[in-house]
Amino acid sequence: MIVTSLVLLALVLLFLASGVWVAVALLASAVAGLAFFTVAPAGSLLASAMWDASWNWALTALPLFVWMGEILTRSRLSQDMFTGVSPWVARLPGRLLHVNVVSCGIMAAVSGSSAVTAATIGRMSLPELQKRGYDERMTIGTLAGSGTLGLLIPPSIVMIVYGVTAQQSVARLFIAGILPGLLLMALFMGYIVLWSLLHRAEMPEADPPVPLGRRIWDSRRLIPVLLLIVVVIGSIYGGIATPTEAATIGVVGALVLAAAGGTLSWAGFLDGLMAATRMSCMIALIIAAAACLTIAVGFLDIPRALAGWVDRQGFSAYGLLAVLALCILVMGCFLEGISIIVLSASVMLPMVQAAGIDLLWFGIFVVVLIEAAQITPPVGFNLFVLQSLTGRDIWRVTAATLPFFLLLMLLLVTITLFPSIVTWLPERMIAR
């Protein structure tokens, strides 16, 4: 069993290292595993697995949420973000550095993607903060760290993939991510406040205070977007709509807002639609190929053997989580989030279930780890985004991001010690 597991792992790594698509690497490994180590009919099994994975109803929400994000990111949202948010945070210690955190939180609820969030907000805020003389390290760090909110604050593409892979309710995962997402924003903003109080000399002069009426006027284009986000997430939480129905509401609302703002053109409509189609097809293909690998792993009896090994080792739940966290962080140094989930699910989930850990809570645990992986070299996508935007070398960007990585680890410890932070809202959702 150990030899078989190592050979299958080596095949996956070999295919990935060769530069082929992740989906092709997973599918090829599944075919090889079934053909060489079992007598099972690989062709019919894999065809059935791909079909079952491709028509999963939860996946229908994925292209719609991606399309909603594409529509809104092509609107004036990013241009209006700085103008709309900055007057509300300008009096806090740290002043306009908070714009990065708040704006990334808003964009996270629109795009569902970490890299898109960091890139969109970075293009808008970096020039403004540099022009005003804010510390470069803090500017880069707040952007890279807050960009990870795109994975935790719903609607999150990674959560949809985890929900489909682990057979968990996508709606409950979305709701479970709300409180940890808000807590992470609070941790980031708290660190900015503390840093600014300790480094007063490095803070630029404050802008003149803005009257309340002017703040509301400057936020006029953000308010409809915020209302759309509240309607989409609120309809899920209230049990009024499924994630797919809520995503449809989001797409229609985004189209209405883009048309009302004068940014909806036929060319932009087609560009957004094609971008959403390409992204959704890529993710769906990876999920289908991962389902094939899961079938192969199951026929090789690897999950049962691993679950038995965990039981024999006598790991506590905390010990197992520590080992899995380390494994995910190591994978995150080389793979992006969706690939981490689909590659590891067939092995990790049986171990987690054997240890009696709630799979819903574990989903948020994994998402936080993947967030941390977004800002760890050598394949931290947010680091690459900030490197391209600033022109600084990757190690300077990484050093600026380190405090925010540690804050993500603090969030991980907090939800582990107090799991109700994750489970309280989903439980209320069921009670309704």
pLDDT in tens, 92-147: 888 888 888 888 888 777 776 777 777 777 777 888 788 888 888 898 888 888 88
Q: What percent of the chain has pLDDT over 90?
A: 13
Separation between Cα atoms, residue 212 and residue 390, nearest integer Å: 34
Separation between Cα atoms, residue 32 and residue 36, nearest integer Å: 6
Q: Supply the DSSP symbol for 240.
A: S
Please, which pLDDT band fits residue 306 given cuts at 50, 70 and 90? low
Please, which pLDDT band fits residue 44 given cuts at 50, 70 and 90? confident
Whole domain around residue 354: which residue ranges? 42-431
Return the pLDDT at 79: 67
- Residues 32-51, mean pLDDT to the nearest whole number: 77
Q: What percent of the chain has pLDDT over 70?
A: 89
pLDDT for residue 176 is more than 90? yes
Torsion of CA 428, 366, 154, 404, to 10 degrees: 120
- Residues 376-397, mean pLDDT to the nearest whole number: 75
Residue 18 resides in a domain: no
- Residues 351-357, mean pLDDT to the nearest whole number: 83
Token code pair at residue 15 = 């295919």
Residue 232 resides in a domain: yes
- Residues 345-354, mean pLDDT to the nearest whole number: 81
**SS3 string of 106-149?**
HHHHHHCCHHHHHHHHHHHHHHHHHHHCCCHHHHHHHHHHHHCH
Residue labelled with tokens 């990935």: 16
Neighbours of 318 (CB within 10 A): 11
Residue 13 resides in a domain: no
Separation between Cα atoms, residue 86 and residue 91, nearest integer Å: 9
- Residues 175-186, mean pLDDT to the nearest whole number: 92
Pick the range with the lowest mean pLDDT from 52-56, 64-68, 425-429: 52-56
Please, which pLDDT band fits residue 187 given cuts at 50, 70 and 90? very high
Residue 423 resides in a domain: yes
| Amino acid making up residue 210 | V
Token code pair at residue 160 = 């949809």
Q: Any alpha helices (H) in 209-336, and if so which ranges? A: 212-218, 222-237, 243-260, 266-299, 302-313, 317-332
Checking 128-132 for CB contacts under 8 A at 24+ apart, the result is 128/82, 128/96, 129/96, 129/97, 129/99, 129/100, 132/96, 132/204
Return the pLDDT at 432: 55
**pLDDT tens column, 191-206:** 999 999 888 887 777 7
Q: How far is CA 224 from CA 120, 227, 421, in A?
A: 19, 5, 29
Return the pLDDT at 414: 96
Separation between Cα atoms, residue 166 and residue 294, nearest integer Å: 11
Within its chain, how far is the Cα of 361 from the centroid? 15
Return the pLDDT at 418: 94
pLDDT for residue 6 is more than 70? no
Return the pLDDT at 392: 79
Residue 12 resides in a domain: no
Sequence-distant (≥ 6) Cβ neighbours of residue 322 within 8 angstroms = none
Cβ contact 362:162 at 8 Å: no
Cβ contact 8:15 at 8 Å: no
Residue 4 resides in a domain: no
pLDDT for residue 165 is more than 80? yes
pLDDT for residue 1 is more than 60? no
More reliable by pLDDT, 97 or 220: 97
Q: Please state, rounded to an integer, the average pLDDT across all residues of the chain.
A: 81
More reliable by pLDDT, 283 or 399: 399
Please, which pLDDT band fits residue 78 given cuts at 50, 70 and 90? low
Checking 236-242 for CB contacts under 8 A at 24+ apart, the result is 236/154, 236/171, 236/174, 236/175, 237/175, 237/425, 237/429, 238/432, 239/429, 239/432, 242/61, 242/171
Separation between Cα atoms, residue 375 and residue 406, nearest integer Å: 11
pLDDT for residue 227 is more than 70? yes
Residue 9 resides in a domain: no
Residue 237 resides in a domain: yes
Pick the range with the lowest mean pLDDT from 18-22, 160-164, 171-175, 267-271: 18-22
Return the pLDDT at 260: 82
Q: How many domains does the chain have?
A: 1
- For the question of whether the overall pTM of this predicted structure is more than 0.75, the answer is yes
Please, which pLDDT band fits residue 235 given cuts at 50, 70 and 90? confident
